[in-house]
Amino acid sequence: MSFSAASLLAASLLYLVILFAIAWVTEKGTLLRHWVRHPLVYTLSLGVYAGIWAVYAAVGVAADSGYGFLAYYLGISGAFLLAPVLLNPVLRIGRAYQLTSLADLFAYRYRSQWAGTLVTLCSGGAILALLSMQIQAVTTSASILAPDTSPQAISVMFSITVVLFAMLFGARRDQKSDNHQGLVLAIAFDSLVKLVAMLVLGGVILFGVFGGMNGLEGWLLSNSSPATTMTLSVDDGSWRALMLMSFAGALVLPHMYHMTFSENPSPKALAKASWGLPLYLLLIGLPVPLILWGGQALAVTTGPSFYAIGVAQSLGSPGLTLLMYIAGLSAASGLMIVSTLALAGMVLNHVVLPVKTPRDQGDIYRWLQSIKRVLIAGIIFLALLFHETLGKNLDLSILGIISLSGVLQLLPGALGVIYWPEGNRRGLIAGMLVGLAIWIVTLVLPFAHTTNLLALFGAPLVPDYSNWHIFTFISLTANVAVFALISMVSTSSNEENSAAQACSLGALSRPQRRELLAASSTEFAKQLAEPLGRGVAKREVERALAQLKLPKLEYRPYQLRRLRDQIEVNLSGLLGPSVARDMVKRHLGFKPMTRGGTGQDIRYVERALGEYQNQLTGLAGELDNLRRHYRQTLQNLPIPACSVGEDGEILMWNHTMESLTGITADDVVGARLMALPEHWHILLDDFHNGDELHRYKHRLDLRGKPHWLNLHKAALSGPDHTEGGSIILVEDQTETRQLEDELMHSERLASVGRLAAGVAHEIGNPVTGISSLAQNLRLETDNPDILDTADQIQQQTRRISTILQSLMNFARTGNRAHANRYEPVTIHRCVDESINLLSLSDKGMGVHFVNDCPPNLQVLGDEQRLVQVFINLLANARDASPIGGTVRVSGNGDGYSAIIEVVDEGSGIPADQLDHVFEPFYTTKAPNKGTGLGLSLVYSIVEEHYGNIQVDSPANPGTNTGTCVRLRLPAYEPETGTTTVSQNERS
């Protein structure tokens, strides 16, 4: 049975159009798109591993080595069953640092561009044979079905189709998503077609050719020749080598790395694929013996590798024949598309970009996309050239062995990434060069039939590749030995050690807490504008800020270090880790090392340990629990506490500190002390940099209320902590201070009360007697002189009574007696009330009062007692002012204080008397004009309100007249929520 070239071409194009439609519809965001993240789709996409080998070549291997063909499936199944310790670490590293290929992984871990380039060249050389295998399978199967068709035409048309698909759905890059969703769903559909075709063919052979299981058993018993008996020799090393290569393929094959890690939607999907892919491979491998036995039973002449086509032809079923051809086309196209896409990315990042960076390109994204599409076309062209010159002359299994044994040389370095931190780039490169050299000499050149160098040394090779597995093990052993030996005798750089710690299973990187040259995210964009261009630099910085959920203007040192790392990660996915690292290192560098800038980045370690919480077990888990316990102890400590590095960066800010300051830890940790609000910055920075270890009863006005704080400092440096820094404890002593004041006031009240009682008793009675005698004297005489004397005596006794009353009032005014009953008071209203009360007296009618206090100026206090203050001050100013003078009251806010000034136009107070005006019974007024207790009472009330009073005279230096009484009281500030740190920090 044969097909015409036109019908075969139409069937091929129809299938490829369906594949294109699936990818296109998915990319457009229709209903198919939500399927991409389903674990089943991801598992099916991993079926790209089962390329032409699974559909055609496995039958040929089964014919030669019996059940040894299963090694191709068992090896990678074992790798996926070991996913928690083998694949998950690579997935974690790749997702964390945007490592999209094995070359990226090697370049990052070994900190070597040469390592990435060597991996790329090794993968490229080995994959050419694998791509040639796919082209040959499609060409041969098409030639079997349509003998009149030119094989070269089929090869060219198939290659062009693959190029177009890879360009359209693989070379595009969405900055919002790192997955090629259309490609993933299309490859999953490919895998499903392969599986269905193989199961259908196996079922048709079992029931159509052998008549069921009984018929198959009867045929096997009657045909027990070695050609039909499926066996597996223990002494045959080929199946061991094939299993090892298959095991390595999970990590080192470019298309498997791409689909397993780069296109992975979530770690949960990999967990499901760890058993889903082995199940898929089991199902697709089950029909292989049936196809082999069916071909032998039907005496198919196509050769074992193409029994799938030959059996369908022999059964005379056009539909089944076409289905198997489509299955082969599907297997070949899927593997070629993904392999070419992955290899093009490796060549771009590790061959093209190190030579030519896109510095002068206007749109880097479009430039990179164009270069990648050119590389895709170039790789397919090289594969086609390899096929036409060498590949078409080799068996499918030979091409597969050449390819798998070549990429096997990458396995030691890949395992070293996870399990051997001591490995370095010198050992890696030397081991790979030795292994690749043996691979080329013993496997590539003999199978290419061009030369046989080993024949010169008496070790002939025959084209049947019977000893290929021996040389595979020899090359790998030499690779491992040289890698280990060179790594042990040579030293690793600090960058390699840091990368090894970041990649090793269970290890944590501990970067140093250093200060960047760029002081803000805006400066990041300016610095990156040189290599990337202004638009791209701004876009990459904004993208990193959005990923870290940081504000557009970021200035905190710790967050800037996180931003720098995230930008490097993003550029690594775009340009490769080596180019990204060099670019970031050159344009976003650190300041020179200083004593205060070499500490460990504790916040980074804390965040990393938090991510590891569910993975730490045993002693590590117990130590982490102990760490969390101590950290929670510090966080919940009832005393405000903060930890500060020697460079002034805040490392810890506990919950009580948040309550005291109104500044959250998220806003301040990682910033410097100078970024705090001014009053906290001045206090903590001065104390941190000072020599004193304790500071007691430091007054600080917070939100209109004075606070008294005790500060304590302890150094953190020591044998177990060499980074330096200090921890600061802040004790809020406000309540204690107020209790002390209450106690002092109570004692004062008691003593003054006793004094007042004594004065009243000792002076009051005689004064009353004198007053009575004076009144009697007025009744006993009409002498004007005596009456005048009696009036003066009564006047003086009344003055004495006034003094006694003022003394009693002074005794009753306790310092801070009503602090707990203070309420917001408007100064303007207090002054108006005082002026109104003074206007009731006839005294001072010619003096004008002016109230210039702002209506919104408020303090926290007792309104009646503040009115008493202003009555005394305004009365004094009135008494000192000339007729027609003006007494002006003004006020303004100054930070956390309210400043009120009472200015008169009087003659002023002599300089030698200014220091005594607040003393009890001291007065500058004329005799019989004042008691000297007014300003003492004012001073007591102002002190009670946590304020101070100051007298300046003369108020007008030009005329040398006037007096200014200045009050400073804590201003009232309404609660407005959490205070945020200032954004004025500069490095």
Q: What is the pLDDT of residues 629-667, one digit of tens each?
A: 877 888 888 889 888 877 777 888 888 888 888 888 877
Angle separating helix axes 318-347 and 102-109, nearest 10 degrees: 30
Range from 69-78, 523-532, 731-740 that averages highest in pLDDT: 69-78
**How would you list the strands of the sheet with 641-644, edge to edge?**
650-653, 641-644, 726-732, 705-715, 694-702
Mean of all residue pLDDT scores within the chain: 80
Cα–Cα distance, 578 to 116 (Å, whole number): 8
- The CB-side HSE value for 798 (13 A sphere, CA atoms) comes to 11
Distance of CA 984 to the CA centre of its chain: 23
What pLDDT score was predicted for residue 362?
61
Whether 27 and 182 have beta carbons less than 8 Å apart is answered as yes
* Average pLDDT, integer, range 915-933: 59
> What whole-number percentage of the chain has pLDDT above 90?
19
Q: What is the torsional sign of CA 12, 14, 17, 22?
A: negative
- The kind and range of the H/E element at 709 are strand 705-715
What pLDDT score was predicted for residue 176?
43
Torsion of CA 400, 403, 409, 413, to 10 degrees: -100
Whether 341 and 171 have beta carbons less than 8 Å apart is answered as yes
Neighbour tally for 858: CB within 10 Å: 22
Range from 197-201, 801-805, 922-926 that averages highest in pLDDT: 197-201
What pLDDT score was predicted for residue 555?
77
What pLDDT score was predicted for residue 460?
44
What pLDDT score was predicted for residue 458?
46
What pLDDT score was predicted for residue 558?
75
What pLDDT score was predicted for residue 119?
94
Among left, alpha and beta (phi > 0; psi -120 to 50; other), residue 599 is beta
- The kind and range of the H/E element at 768 are helix 765-780
Query: Is pLDDT at 239 greater than 90 in this prediction?
Result: no
Query: Is pLDDT at 47 greater than 80 in this prediction?
Result: yes
Q: What is the pLDDT of residues 303-319, one digit of tens each?
A: 888 999 989 988 888 89
Query: Is pLDDT at 230 greater than 70 in this prediction?
Result: no
Cα–Cα distance, 288 to 308 (Å, whole number): 9
Give the CA distances from residue 621 to residues 89, 507, 573, in Å, rounded to whole numbers and listed in that order.
19, 13, 33
Distance of CA 762 to the CA centre of its chain: 80
Neighbour tally for 138: CB within 10 Å: 28
* Average pLDDT, integer, range 787-815: 65
Query: Is pLDDT at 457 greater than 70 in this prediction?
Result: no
Query: Is pLDDT at 205 greater than 70 in this prediction?
Result: yes
Q: What is the pLDDT of residues 344-368, one digit of tens each?
A: 989 988 888 888 766 655 667 778 8
Phi, psi of 253 (to 5 degrees): -70, 130
Phi, psi of 846 (to 5 degrees): -85, 0
Cα–Cα distance, 432 to 1 (Å, whole number): 49
Least reliable range by pLDDT among 558-562, 797-801, 954-958: 797-801
Confidence of residue 773 (pLDDT cuts 50, 70, 90): confident
Residue found by looking up tokens 């298309």 in the block: 255
Taking alpha carbons only, the member of 578, 561, 576, 528 closest to residue 98 is: 576
* Average pLDDT, integer, range 217-237: 67
What pLDDT score was predicted for residue 532?
79
- The kind and range of the H/E element at 893 are strand 886-894
Query: Burial, 864: exposed, middle or buried (Cβ in 10 Å; 0-12, 13-18, 19+)?
Result: exposed
Query: Is pLDDT at 320 greater than 70 in this prediction?
Result: yes
What pLDDT score was predicted for residue 818?
44
Cα–Cα distance, 155 to 81 (Å, whole number): 37
Q: What is the pLDDT of residues 658-677, one digit of tens each?
A: 888 888 887 777 777 877 88
Query: Is pLDDT at 12 greater than 70 in this prediction?
Result: yes
What pLDDT score was predicted for residue 381?
92
Give the CA distances from residue 29 to residues 143, 285, 329, in Å, rounded to whole numbers and listed in that order.
39, 35, 27
Instruction: Please give the structure tokens belonging to residue 978.
Output: 């959490």
Query: Is pLDDT at 809 greater than 70 in this prediction?
Result: no
Q: What is the pLDDT of residues 115-124, one digit of tens each?
A: 999 999 999 9
